[in-house]
Amino acid sequence: MSLTRTEQTAVAGPERPELQQALQEIVDSGFAGVQLRVHDERGAWVGSAGVRKLGASVKPSTDGRFRIGSSTKTFTATLVLQLVAEGKLGLDAPAADHLPQFELDRRITVRMLLQHTSGVFNFTGEYYEDGTFAPGIPWQGPEFVANQFHTYPPEELVRLALSKPARFAPGTDWSYSNTNYVLAKLLV
């Protein structure tokens, strides 16, 4: 068995049979394959179990990369709240004070971005109560697959969203909008 440089470095670290066993248990429960990377007080460790592709016998790589999608929203909110704690941002201050380039409605506060009460259009599209859909960037289906490696700069996503009508007046309702967290990220 030949190891990648990452695997060689990690293998030189502490043995972690309990982690390898946990990976195998995940696979045994029905998952095709899994990889894990740990950096803790005991050092670095990587491992994998199962298969990379159904019907194949090759194990999952241990140096793969994954998009974590909306998990980043937790990190963004934490950073925004740290800035609030440091007195660098105010939760009830207009977001426009920190993002003048977008000419946001001054009623939209930092808190509204985090709570999805800004009314700003969701750049992935909006479903309305009457069943209509206003498209945004593709996030599923053939069009997404064809462009899955296209990177949208945050400013482009915000400008797309702001080119559409607001869903409601700031602070008057709730609607999940990915754009809120792009704006929050830009605040950071």
Amino acid at residue number 156: E
Determine the distance from the C-alpha atom of residue 70 to the mean position of all C-alpha atoms in its chain, rounded to a whole number.
3
pLDDT of 122 reads: 97
60 & 83 share domain: no
CB of 179 within 8 A of CB of 154? no
Whether the pTM exceeds 0.85: the reply is no
Give the range of the structural domain holding residue 77, as residue numbers without chain letter: 69-187
46 & 86 share domain: no
Give the 3-state secondary structure of residue 88: coil
CB of 177 within 8 A of CB of 116? yes
User: pLDDT per position in the chain (188 positions), as tens?
Assistant: 444 544 444 444 568 999 999 999 999 999 999 999 999 998 999 999 999 988 899 999 888 777 788 889 999 999 999 999 999 999 999 999 999 999 999 999 999 999 999 999 999 999 988 999 999 998 888 888 888 888 899 999 999 999 999 999 999 999 999 999 999 999 99
pLDDT of 147 reads: 84
Catalytic residues: 70
How many separate domains does the chain show? 2
CATH number at residue 170: 3.40.710.10
Cα dist. 125→23, 94, 102, 163, 180 in Å?
Answer: 37, 24, 19, 12, 13
49 & 123 share domain: no
78 & 60 share domain: no
pLDDT of 153 reads: 96
91 & 180 share domain: yes
* Cross-strand pairs, 45: 38
75 & 159 share domain: yes
d(CA 33, CA 49): 6
